[in-house]
Structure 1
Amino acid sequence: MRFSQSLASAALLVAAGVAQAASSWSFDDASLAISAKKASEAVKEKLNPKTPLSKPVTLGSTDTLKVALTAKDNGKAKRPHQAFVVLKEQDSGLEVPFPLTTKDNGKAVVHIAQKDIPVQLLVSTKPLKGSIVIGSFGSAQGYNSQVFEVEITTDPNAPAPHYEKPLRYGKKEEIHHIFRADPKSPPKVISLFFTLAVAATVPALFIGWLALGANLNHLSKAIGAAPLSHATFFGSIVAMEFVFFMYYTSWNLFQTLPVAGLVSIATVLSGTKALGEVQRRRLAGDR
């Protein structure tokens, strides 16, 4: 007898545990209504938690979609912690939730106008999937299932909704950089003109030297006193002119700068000694 009572008690406990585990949220007395300006165009459909509507409903630019239901926990009307109507775009998977206004007796309602729907969903070419999500604290399983589809029709007299995808950081296609062509030399006529202009200053240079009393007899003295410095100094000036010529004809800046730097160093070092030698002779009265 005691064994039978213990077995019966165990069976009741197991049944209670199974019933508690099977507890889940759902809804009842649900309806979907489209409110339009013209009463003849209004639509109202009953929603079933197990079977979605067979045909999509149409939401116009001035219409309002209304979903009303009674949330139930294991068959009893109850206010859930969360209740939403979720619209989802089929191709991209983007979705937007609309919270239901719920009462303590489980009754809930939400109104959705076309202006409330993001433009990413308005431009969809396919009907939006409408789901109802209900859940709360505790062990009861939440409800999340598609129950209807809604097709968006925009106002033909208004500008069509336009959406541009935002810039997102990620892997991009490989960029093949194409450098612009090297700069070309100016026309030969212009180059010849400036060459002749520079060459014309050479006679003026010699005339100026003679007018200022240049003495070519000092050339032998200078070379005798510091042959290496004077030769290097003069040679570096000629070399620098050669560098400028090569830069003008064929070299680029990266080829010109290292050579010009080396020639400049030679010019400074040799010029210091060569001009120092000239200064010493001038100070000694050799003019």
Structure 2
Amino acid sequence: MGVPSRISVLLCIVLAALVALASAKVHVSEVAIRVASASGPKLTQTLKYPKQLDDIVAVEVDEQLSISALTKDDNGKGLDSRATFVTFVHAGSQLPTTLVLESPSGAAGLRKIDLTLGSKAIQETFKGQPGVYAVAISVGRFDQAGVVYPIGNVNLSFPADPEFFVKHSYGEHYGPLPEIHHVFRPDEKQPLPLISQVFALLSIAPWVLLLGAWSFLGANVRELFASVGHSVFGVAFIGTFVSWFTLFYFYWVRLNLFQFLGYGSVLAVATLIIGRQALVLRHNRRIAGNK
């Protein structure tokens, strides 16, 4: 037999083992309940599925409750399941408390948990509610339906803690929340109208200074409209300046940078061509006047 044939046979054996493992059904074989105090064991009772406790098991505050579950497959072999839980449901509030059963070393299929009622952490786990609890073992697997094994009732005796005690039922605990009243930030104080008007005038001041400088230097705007050709290009040249201010305004209120650069590049070319032509016509008129 060649090497490829041997590898194929080995893979078939491994696949068959995995299929057999996945198809094995899990069963809760037995459950052991133990109650012990500092002086020694108080109660030990073993249940075979589906037998339940005949009486309520009482556990005092200075005692320890131990619950272990043994899971097996169809062939009676210990089958380990990580999803093994014990659920305590309070008889009064119906509030469930679910804990994970841990696996002690060296025991296939065995899961166990120890609860010391005198521990503050355990009392907080049970929300500070002493009393009678219905106990059930739950075992789940990904490849089949889970198993739930109700084992009976236990009476946990420890001081009730009002800080954790839940007076209402589990459903009422998720009732409507209090209404939220939004508090908005008060309006900011506005400056005096006079201050706003002063700054508005300051923003217009550069235009006043520009017009004053043109008047002082003797700017001759009439030459832009000396003829029909001058008028067309003169009006178009001034219109490009107005278009630039309009573009700046829309960039401030609406356009983004890429849109502004796109429109601005087109307007820059138009300003360059129209401005050059207006200056050429003005230059030609000056030369013709000097002859």
- TM-score, normalisation: structure 1: 0.47
Computing the radius of gyration from Cα coordinates, the structure with the larger value is: 1
